Structure 1
């Protein structure tokens, strides 16, 4: 009864202070009290801090990562079930990391750019907005370089790097001069010529097959080019099917190693 009285008249945080995490989760599952959730959040913010620090210097500000991780903590609290028998920290960690990685996929640099260039890119963007207001015109590269105290080459490098922060959609259309039909970006992007791959594979097979003995060569040709069964090949060679299988595995393993060497 004393606790009930404290709940009505005293601060809610003092009422929840002597509750264990499990007790709070059970209470929250019953009534979805926001004050209980806030208490659980405050108790477990240390998990957010630890996990957020693992993603420092990866292209996104720590404060942004911390906020996303905090949101992940809230999701974990909403989904946690004490009946499963897991520790909350073990349950919350993959949920929080998942939210952080999702944020990186949505907002992060699509191509890894040196930290120095990332920071300079932000300064260039800020300086560009400021100088445009001061000069009443779009600032030149020289203006930005003088304002930041760096070279024009550094500014140009930062501007180029900023384009990889958010890649353009392949569905983006460009006006085609003299033609009614627009050109999509995907039509301008080059693609790998498959004939080169076919030539490389053919050359590899010819060189690899030349190293096989007569029986190995027959088994590979019959199995993969003539679609014969191991039993049919075994009958032709007068050996057991197990022997054919063993030779086949040995040759395939040898070809795999040769291919891996070629790929290095």
Structure 2
């Protein structure tokens, strides 16, 4: 028992020391990142403690810990050691809140690697700081420069963040008035697809007819000639044209797999 208390006191002293050191370092420097990462790693047991509250949920514990780690990172970035509050006291509600938000938002449909989780948290924090400083939303290049990351990593982290948000197909929020909803921009069943199938079937059946009957059908239904016009062009009687058309239709029906 005494050993456990000693370890706990030692962890609190280490955390407090790291928080005070982090506050003195310039954001974005290598030393700041190293101390920040050490502070996060030192307090991962706090995340696991918070995650145990949700062990009965139908969600892998590893995923809950990952979400709680995002809350821990937020707490590290927002903590002010001069306020006289223990870091654990400040961080625990943030961690639990992040986990609860995770379940409230119906969980991600896509698994996001832990590295992107952490990058996303850093990008969000940097975006808030730059928005305040610039009076506008920062560009991807500005975020990348602030965090000393590549623009590709910033974009990937933003995509990871969007994996948490599920939008209704009928949602009208965040789109301009008069612009179509998401459901209106999704794919639809093109009636022309059936025509493609029908044309392919007709082409397959036509080649099975004698050449003269093929020509008569093309003149009748592709050039829209009447039977009298076809008879004049081919030098056949209109009655003969009518019989050839009837015979062609009979052959096509017998060869059509749909009619069988």
Q: Same fold (TM over 0.5)?
A: no
Report the TM-score, using the length of structure 1 for normalisation. 0.35
